[in-house]
A and B are shown apart, each in its own frame.
Chain A
Amino acid sequence: NAGVTQTPKFQVLKTGQSMTLQCAQDMNHEYMSWYRQDPGMGLRLIHYSVGAGITDQGEVPNGYNVSRSTTEDFPLRLLSAAPSQTSVYFCASSYNDYNEQFFGPGTRLTVL
């Protein structure tokens, strides 16, 4: 099992550009989520999904879109990148929404 995979590992964007962070899991988990980690802030929930076709907002959803067309994939879209979105992004999955979450290796995003 590959677990949770994320691509790319690093990305540099210019303000206003859009991009998609990819996340996939091969554990047949229903629950998937995206977090951002900023220095001194811990991890903050951006969006989550309890199953294919079902998504909802987390604590800091503004500027991000998600969709969940399959159980395996949960991409995160930045619509118009801003410097405030410079962060490390983690995708996670779990069997359900109250079990332990398995995290991907993270994507380090810099917006200039």
Chain B
Amino acid sequence: AQKVTQAQTEISVVEKEDVTLDCVYETRDTTYYLFWYKQPPSGELVFLIRRNSFDEQNEISGRYSWNFQKSTSSFNFTITASQVVDSAVYFCALSEATNSGGSNYKLTFGKGTLLTVNP
């Protein structure tokens, strides 16, 4: 089973539409971290957000918002009023301890969602 599932392989919207990118994760740890990264067509990876497992507060940053729900193991990302510049591949990632001692964490990425925003 995948540790991080991004069920939407590709999404296409028209500019100004709202769009939600889904992320479901799987872990047995009580302490873990969730991330979203953006990879625009130029190829670089851009950090968007980090959330620890003890903080379920939703976060808003401009047109971006994130909904973290431990009950459903989901960490969804919503872009409000999408713009062409939002076109990119978006990755959700999970960082969890590699051993019972919890001294090392490894980052596992989902396979990504390609978002295309059309003018």
* B104 interface residue (CB < 8 Å to A): yes
**Please, which residue of chain A has its CB at the minimum distance from the CB of B42?**
A105
How many pairs, one residue from A and one from B, have CB atoms within 8 Å of each other in the complex?
Answer: 47
Provide the main secondary structure of the chain B interface.
strand
Q: A45-B106, A50-B104 are in contact. Are A103 and B44 (CB under 8 A)?
A: yes
0/1 per residue, B89-108, Cβ < 8 Å to A?
Answer: 00100010010000011111
B43, B44, B47, B105: which contacts A97 (Cβ < 8 A)? Answer: B105
* A101 interface residue (CB < 8 Å to B): yes
* B63 interface residue (CB < 8 Å to A): no
B9, B33, B44, B47: which contacts A106 (Cβ < 8 A)? Answer: B44
A44, A88, A98: which contacts B43 (Cβ < 8 A)? Answer: A88
0/1 per residue, B26-54, Cβ < 8 Å to A?
Answer: 00000001010000000111010010000
**Please, which residue of chain A has its CB at the minimum distance from the CB of B110?**
A42
Contacts of A102 in B (CB 8 A): 47
**Please, which residue of chain B has its CB at the minimum distance from the CB of A98?**
B105
Contacts of B45 in A (CB 8 A): 43, 90, 92, 103
* A41 interface residue (CB < 8 Å to B): yes
Q: Which residues of B contact A (CB under 8 A)?
A: 9, 33, 35, 43-45, 47, 50, 91, 95, 98, 104-112
Q: Which residues of A contact B (CB under 8 A)?
A: 33, 35, 40-45, 48, 50, 56, 58-59, 88, 90, 92, 97-103, 105-106
Known: A45-B106, A100-B50. 5 other contacts (CB 8 A): A42-B109, A43-B109, A58-B106, A97-B95, A101-B47
